[in-house]
A and B are shown apart, each in its own frame.
Chain A
Amino acid sequence: MLSRRELLFGRLRAGVSRAVPSTPPPPPPDDSPKVAVIQGRHCLAYRELMCSTCYERCPEEGAIVIERGIPQVVADLCTGCSDCHDVCPAPTNAILMLAPRPTINRGKP
């Protein structure tokens, strides 16, 4: 059985389309923790355009929820894998991968 992440990516890796441009070297890996943030002004769903790619392709159950067509990241469940950023089809990528907000210590030990 495939994982949710592999479901739609698996076949792509097999190298189906011939339209892939020749590629420059990959950027150096960045291992610092990240969380996805959806920028409404770039997001197609915010314009009633029915896009739901990030929600569908998020590998973490519940980390992106959709309400009335609008996707939202549940920061506590987001693992920062950046799958949603990689698949976002908006003309300007609507998903930023940011450092998570520091946890606020509410006076508890």
Chain B
Amino acid sequence: MTEERQNLVFSAPPDDVDAVHEFLETVWEANPGVSEFDRMAFETALIELASNVIQHAAGEGGVTCVLTVDADENGLSASLADTADAGGIVLMDRSMPDELSESGRGIALIQALVDDLRYERVDERNVWSISRARESGGS
């Protein structure tokens, strides 16, 4: 069974979440066994995470991130390490805001789409990790 680990380093600005989408396209090409639904769920969660990091760091003059994605027979996982100050994003169980709210859904969406979402402060970096087990019956 192959295991693929791939990395992306990006700085926002000038990069934005499109860099993450383009990077994931190469991950999916290298891992054709990942089901369409797993790709969609994982990509949505990872983009929410990256958007949150980029948005919260915008006032600090930008951020550099190192993104690592692993795909193996058990599932998908990603680690996003960023250079922003600590404590910019509060991680806790978030409920979905009401239908007419224009914001505040990012963390709730991530929690709905992955099995695990973690945050650690390591060597002056914020390290975010998400993982999602392969859907049962998936190839």
**B and A form one assembly:** no
A-side residues, CB < 8 A to B, are none
